[in-house]
Structure 1
């Protein structure tokens, strides 16, 4: 309504500063399910949410390790390194009971130095808008992770800024802008390259080149803070290549 301010008003980089770890192989996206009596008024459709303990443990251990190394305490911006599990234990009483038990068992036994918190997914969406500074590192399943990362991307400035990685702790990982590609803009020079550049920084950090990753982040911060007029496509004040050159000049 007129006169009502959005809770995100006046929130800056120091407030919207968290990471989401999304398990990316299980959940309802694995394709299990089916339908009966399709095309009839009695049609029934079922989609299975499936996780194994091994899948959950693998994701949680990576998230705990990441929080220990990159949480707010490790970065010097908070008192604790905090990992928050995002779920819906009051409704999804099997799958997220598994996540909740594994989260606490692994955390207590192997990561006593990492603070643990639990958030329902609907409350998480609310607080990502109202008080994003509460969060440090979040871990969740595939579907909830899909949803909250899109919300997080838009609150941080849009798809042109947000980057992500598909991490394989035992092998090759892949990094990309969270919004994917935009073929209709090919050759026009209007796409914001910041997300792709930051995805490269994530790759460097994952490969152990943390100092190089930090250099890229610092260069991006300077360019977005002092040179670019906007983050949306065609509103940057520069072409795609020119923004890339501005970042490169500062590394």
Structure 2
């Protein structure tokens, strides 16, 4: 029997609420499929920052290094600036563990609606492959001067290694899907980094003659997601562009409450980290109305990355079964069920196929 060590970081707000349900579902899948999940919980959050001045302890990376995977709840709370919470926890972990792929699959699930009129589930299914370790999210820069002459300078960092590995990951993924990949760029306006990105994308595309590839300016690609989503399968994008496009993709495929993500270390030399795309929504925290589906599906991604693919599939299937039935749904899905009721319904629907 396999035994996995999983670090649980519930975070803030509804992150705590949905983490409980995700663990409930994953425990059920582990029980049925014959493996053990050993959980260790860490209270790293904005609440901890308010008490101690840090999001996590100085040895936080070392504490997590021995775990197989990490399940992270949403982080953020009023009074703690977003850049403090992000750079105090999430980004340091992504970079310390070389989680250079941010994988965000999005699709219209059964029993849910899209804001796009007349679109079906088959037309609303794509995956965003976001570069997760460099790009526009850089500490290089600063603020200078005072008064009318004050200015801020922010540098982007694109390395050949960083761009090559994320683009190649996207092409390999496209080979397992429909064989289509589109690169998000803005080389008509950003004069150095984006032409560099485009050139490397073209070089790697030449290695995959059986994969249909194209480059598309991010503004045109955003419009395509709304107007012609059926033309999109795998999107590869820089850190900032991938962040924006994945939220847009989630919005047109049922909302952020349905969208999971993974911070992936493809070589498995370090733990990967899985989380919902949505934020901590402190205004509804603790009310029992948050939708746990995104966090549950993030848990399914965690199981898949562990190699427990049958268990991962059973969790995803259970989510679809419950949503399709429509009997248990949180308010954002048009129902009156609680977070715990939806989580329990999914756990009870997990089966061995």
CA 1:185/1:44 → structure 2, altered by over 3 Å: closer, same or farther?
closer
Alignment size in residue pairs: 235
Following superposition, the deviation at residue 243 of structure 1 comes to 1.0
**Matching of residue 167 in structure 1 with residue 275 in structure 2:** no
The two structures, once aligned, show a CA RMSD in angstroms of: 2.2
Following superposition, the deviation at residue 183 of structure 1 comes to 4.5
**Mean CA deviation greater in 225-234 or 209-218:** 225-234
CA 1:181/1:35 → structure 2, altered by over 3 Å: closer, same or farther?
closer
**Mean CA deviation greater in 206-215 or 239-248:** 206-215
Q: Please, what TM-score do these two structures have when normalized by structure 2?
A: 0.62
- Output one character per residue of 1:183-206: Cα deviation in whole Å (capped at 9) or x when no partner: 554443211111011111122222
**Matching of residue 116 in structure 1 with residue 223 in structure 2:** no
The residue number in structure 1 matching 2:313 is 214
Structure 1, unmatched stretches of 5+, are 1-5, 73-80
Match of 1:86 among 166, 169, 184: 184
The residue number in structure 1 matching 2:168 is 61
Match of 1:146 among 230, 243, 247: 243
**Matching of residue 96 in structure 1 with residue 217 in structure 2:** no
Q: Name the CA distance, whole Å, in 1 between partners of 2:227 and 2:332.
A: 27
**Matching of residue 130 in structure 1 with residue 227 in structure 2:** yes
Following superposition, the deviation at residue 215 of structure 1 comes to 2.3
CA 1:68/1:204 → structure 2, altered by over 3 Å: closer, same or farther?
farther
CA 1:32/1:145 → structure 2, altered by over 3 Å: closer, same or farther?
same
Q: Name the CA distance, whole Å, in 1 between partners of 2:329 and 2:119.
A: 17
Q: Which has the higher contact order (CA 8 A, sep 6+)?
A: 2
Give 1 or 2: higher strand fraction. Answer: 2
**Matching of residue 245 in structure 1 with residue 315 in structure 2:** no
SS of the residue corresponding to residue 97 of structure 1 reads helix
